[in-house]
């Protein structure tokens, strides 16, 4: 089980990702949502994306799913023919 952490080290790359995600979550150019809201939205999206991938994996060929939904964030394993690793 993962341990709870109370702080994040914000490298330049992580700060850039937070800034990009904040732009997506913000209601308009003047909105500055807290990082916790940005993290909640990103986690929700990740979980929903995995559920969506699981829903279509038996309906479409693995290469089609990979071509349409490929992301380096989610570890995908479609049968034995396609594998994408994060990190």
Q: What is the pLDDT of residue 60?
A: 79
Report whether 32 contacts 26 (CB < 8 A).
yes
Q: Where are the alpha helices (DSSP H) in 1-87?
A: 12-25, 35-56, 62-69
b/e burial code for range 76-87 (CB count within 10 A of at least 16 → b): bebeeeeeeeee
What are the residue ranges in the chain where pLDDT is below 70? Answer: 1-2, 5-6, 70-87
Closest CA to 66 of 55, 52, 76: 76
- Give 54-68 pLDDT, tens digit per residue: 888 778 777 777 777
Interior angle at CA 71, CA 67 and CA 72, nearest 5: 130
């Amino acid at each position: 089980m993962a341990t709870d952490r109370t702080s994040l080290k914000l490298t330049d790359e992580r700060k850039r990702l937070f800034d990009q995600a904040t732009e997506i979550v913000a209601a308009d150019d003047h909105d500055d949502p807290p990082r916790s809201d940005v993290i909640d939205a990103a986690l929700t999206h990740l979980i929903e994306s995995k559920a969506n991938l699981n829903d279509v994996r038996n309906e479409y060929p693995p290469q089609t799913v990979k071509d349409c939904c490929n992301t380096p964030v989610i570890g995908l394993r479609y049968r034995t023919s396609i594998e994408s690793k994060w990190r």
